[in-house]
Amino acid sequence: MESDLHQVIKANDDLTPEHHQFFFYQLLRGMKYIHAANVFHRDLKPRNILANADCKLKICDFGLARVSFNDTPSAIFWTDYVATRWYRAPELCGSFFSKYTPAIDIWSIGCIFAEMLSGRPLFPGKNVVHQLDLMTDLLGTPSAESLSRIRNEKARRYLGNMRKKHPVPFSQKFPGVDPMALDLLERLLAFDPKDRPTAAEALADPYFTGLANSDREPTTQPISKLEFEFERRKLARDDVRELIYREILEYHPQMLHEYHHGGDQANFVYPSGVDRFKRQFVHLEEGVTKGEKTSPQLRQHASLPRERIIGIGDELGRPNADYCIKLHVGEEPGHTSVTDGLSKPLLNARNFLKSESISASQCVVIKEKREKDEESMSEYMHEASDATPK
């Protein structure tokens, strides 16, 4: 999709009534399908409506979408801070009602359609109070029945104490627009959510005569609660690590194949370094408290499988490490080799390159240091032999 509806509205002053009708129809058709699945989008706005050169629209950005189940307590499941403020339904501005319905999306569709007609946002509120003021300026103050069903005491008191406002005729707000379009828009922008039509009811409005066809409009079944069972599972820290590792394996087919066929999975589930990091600080602080000069603890290669750790002599302060490990390409790590009387596991080239315990530059430094030491010792022995009386 080349653009979005926000750019289309902003860049085109010559949208025809046919454009308005076709765009409006597509939005309601999409919402009919989404609501049939018991999904509430909750963040509909022009920027979240993609558009292409053929005037086809697609609804996107379901980051705030939620599934509604009949047995889910709405007061807990839903939050009122959803949808961009300008397109937010009145009941979301102050948690008016205890149960939210798909009518919150219908209101947003009405705001988008009004913006298409006028070329500018309908309710550009600077804050929630200003938003309610703009709504009541156009729609009038809500009825006593609507006020009685508002569960938020502050919102109910604010609207109840508001001076009496009379609704503005939509024909005055949107001059020159098809009256049938304005009649439908006024129904979508009803202050009380129970007075708004569903997407299917809106598509059956006379405004879409000749365009809407219920047989061609896709629908679906409500989403099963089992689809969201993962959200109800309580995961331990190791479970989260395993899930992250499984996600990483999706990008490494060979390792994924080994994982599914009984490979050694434990080698890849590494413990967190946070605890070791904390222990380093505790170790240093204890030394300062005792007035001792304390060096950091030697960092262990806990994140690597044991056979991949390569000792590199006294450079790391390890005793009995004065030996060299030979690499045999293609040889399995399980094989061993005896060097200087020590039995050590051999590493193939692939595992050696994976190891973070030693680098090629370190190998070169150690080798050069050993050669220099041997050369110095040889010169010393030679000078000593020359200095010996004959």
Which residues carry out catalysis? 43
Distance CA 121, CA 130 (A): 14
Q: Which amino acid is at 94?
A: G
CA distances from 280 to 83, 200, 209, 237 (A): 46, 64, 74, 22
Contacts of 96 (CB under 8 A, 6+ apart): 90, 149, 150, 151, 152, 155
Contacts of 22 (CB under 8 A, 6+ apart): 55, 211
DSSP state of 205: S
Cα–chain center distance at 207: 39
Instruction: Let me know how long the chain is.
Output: 390
| Closest-CA residue to 221 (of 387, 39, 20) | 39
Torsion over CA: 314, 320, 324, 329 (sign): negative
DSSP letter string, 266-330: GGG-PPPSHHHHHHHHHHHHHHHHTT---PPPPPP-TTS-GGG----GGGGT-TT------B-TT
| Closest-CA residue to 38 (of 113, 112, 109, 105) | 105
- State both tokens at 356: 């973070």
| Closest-CA residue to 39 (of 63, 62, 67) | 67
Contact at 8 Å (CB) between 75 and 98?
yes
Distance CA 219, CA 215 (A): 10
Distance CA 264, CA 287 (A): 40
CA distances from 85 to 79, 147, 370 (A): 14, 21, 71
Distance CA 106, CA 27 (A): 10
Distance CA 349, CA 331 (A): 9
Contact at 8 Å (CB) between 319 and 312?
no
Query: What is the H or E stretch that residue 136 is in?
Result: helix 128-139
